[in-house]
Structure formats: structure tokens, C-alpha cells
């Protein structure tokens, strides 16, 4: 279902009471970290919301440096063309949606967490132009070719015409860590350009037809690995 606009992922529509502890930086921090303004650790357990109408293409605990992650694929109409983007919500404490589920603007999809105690509580939030990225930062160009600056995108797309239409949604094929290869972000980024990572791809095949029906199939993966690196992977690259 096409988006009629986009709101912030915390305290929608405007994120009141929250602030960014870290912003987007090309070739560095590829998203935004949202926390409660003036409060350390107080964000834990607060609701996280879908920024717009969309289809959940990833919703699981992938361990590694991410923990519980939700990725939603959004379609919107602009200049008489259909556009797509993915929104990512990382380090969640709870996931409240399932893969293949359609969600609406402002719907709660989870709660703010800390990646099983690895980081201070915050929402790591990204927006992808490149639909192949998922949780694999090595899969894109790590700049504005592959990513949106989240706040800028939301502010420029608050209200859209053509919302509520059913359109075919591209299937999601994401590289994910597995029990055999529980990669961390650091290892994946520095080595993926030199050799192929023998990780399995996530074949979460989702398509939304013009009649409004959703077709969903996925290959199950076990994710039991965890990263030994205690630094937030999104902050130093």
C-alpha cells in the first residue's frame, strides 16, 4: 500500500521528547540514533513506530551487532512515478510485527532496546535507497547514493498524494549472518570487498499484488552467533 506521507519513528508524528544522540554521516554512521531528550537510558521499552505504510520484509533477531531488527519496504508516488525505500529499526527490545505483514503509518512495530545489553538503549534508524542492503552495510556505497538522511527524507515527504494504493512490492533478498558465519559488521565490511562471505542469503519473498493480496515465503535461518566487539558498529566507520 502506497504511503500517504512519513512521520518520525518515535513519538510520531514529530518525535516530541526525543532527540538524536548521533546523526547520519556518509562512510561513517549510516543512520540516526534516537533517545529521550535529556535522559540516559530512559528510552528503553518506549514504542517504535512505522514511519509510513509499508510491507515488513525483515523482522527477527539476527544477533551479530544488530539484535532484533525490523525492515519495512515503503512505496510512494511522486512525480507520477512509484518509488521504493526501506526503513530499518535496529537494537529493538521487542518485535511486534511479522515478516510479510502490511503496516500503516504510525503503527507500533516494536520497542526500543539495547541489543541484548550490548549498547545503551536507543533506536538505530536507517533509510535505504538501495533495497539490497538490509543489515549488510557492505552491500551499498555507504553514502547518499545508497542511503537517505532519515530526518531530511521525512521532513521532505510529510504529506504525499496517491496514498493507499496497492502496488507490487519488490521481493527482499538480504545477506544475513548464520549460525555457521555469525559475522559482525566490522568483519563483514573490511573483508567483503576482497572475498565472498560464505553466508546464506535471506530469501524473504514478499509481493503485494494490485488486488491487495500478499504472498509470503521464507527460508528459516538460525542466528545464534554474537559479536565479540562491544562498540556500536554504526559509530566509527
CA distance 231 to 224: 19
Contact 170, 208 (CB under 8 A): no
**Residue 57: which CATH number?**
2.70.70.10
- Domain assignment present for 2: no
Strand partners, 236: none
- Domain assignment present for 146: yes
- Domain assignment present for 118: yes
- Domain assignment present for 225: no
- Domain assignment present for 131: yes
- Domain assignment present for 212: yes
Q: In total, how many domains does the chain have?
A: 1
- Domain assignment present for 235: no
pLDDT at 178: 77
Model confidence pLDDT, tens digit, residues 109-126: 999 999 999 999 999 999
CA distance 20 to 24: 10
pLDDT at 184: 58
DSSP assignments along 148-203, one per residue: --HHHHHHHTSS-SSTT-----PPEEEE---SS----HHHHHHHHTTS---PPEEE
Model confidence pLDDT, tens digit, residues 56-95: 999 999 988 899 999 999 999 999 999 999 999 999 999 9
Using a 10 angstrom Cβ sphere, with 0-12 exposed, 13-18 middle and 19 or more buried, the burial of residue 57 is buried
- Domain assignment present for 62: yes
Model confidence pLDDT, tens digit, residues 73-84: 999 999 999 999
Range of 109's domain? 18-172+206-216
Contact 28, 22 (CB under 8 A): no
Strand partners, 183: none
pLDDT at 87: 98
Is 201 or 41 the better-scoring residue by pLDDT?
Answer: 41
Amino acid at each position: 500500500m502506497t504511503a500517504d506521507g512519513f512521520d518520525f519513528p518515535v513519538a510520531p508524528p514529530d518525535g516530541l521528547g526525543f532527540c538524536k544522540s548521533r546523526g547520519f554521516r556518509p562512510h561513517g554512521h549510516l543512520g540516526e540514533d534516537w533517545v529521550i531528550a535529556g535522559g540516559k537510558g530512559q528510552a528503553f521499552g518506549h514504542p517504535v513506530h512505522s514511519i509510513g505504510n509499508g510491507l515488513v520484509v525483515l523482522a527477527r533477531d539476527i544477533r551479530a551487532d544488530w539484535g532484533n531488527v525490523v525492515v519495512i519496504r515503503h512505496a510512494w508516488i511522486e512525480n507520477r512515478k512509484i518509488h521504493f525505500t526501506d526503513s530499518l529499526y535496529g537494537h529493538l527490545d521487542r518485535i511486534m510485527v511479522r515478516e510479510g505483514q502490511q503496516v500503516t503509518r504510525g503503527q507500533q512495530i516494536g520497542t526500543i532496546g539495547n541489543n541484548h545489553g550490548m549498547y545503551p538503549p536507543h533506536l538505530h534508524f536507517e533509510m535505504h535507497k538501495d533495497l539490497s542492503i538490509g543489515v549488510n552495510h557492505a552491500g551499498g556505497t555507504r553514502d547518499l547514493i545508497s542511503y537517505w538522511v532519515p530526518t531530511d527524507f521525512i521532513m521532505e515527504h510529510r504529506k504525499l498524494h496517491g496514498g493507499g494504493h496497492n502496488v507490487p512490492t519488490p521481493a527482499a533478498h538480504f545477506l544475513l549472518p548464520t549460525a555457521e558465519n555469525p559475522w559482525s559488521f566490522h568483519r563483514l565490511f573490511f573483508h567483503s570487498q576482497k572475498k565472498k562471505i560464505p553466508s546464506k542469503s535471506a530469501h524473504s519473498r514478499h509481493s503485494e499484488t494490485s488486488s491487495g493480496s500478499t504472498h509470503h515465503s521464507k527460508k528459516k535461518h538460525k542466528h545464534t552467533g554474537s559479536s565479540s566487539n562491544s562498540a556500536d558498529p554504526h559509530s566509527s566507520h
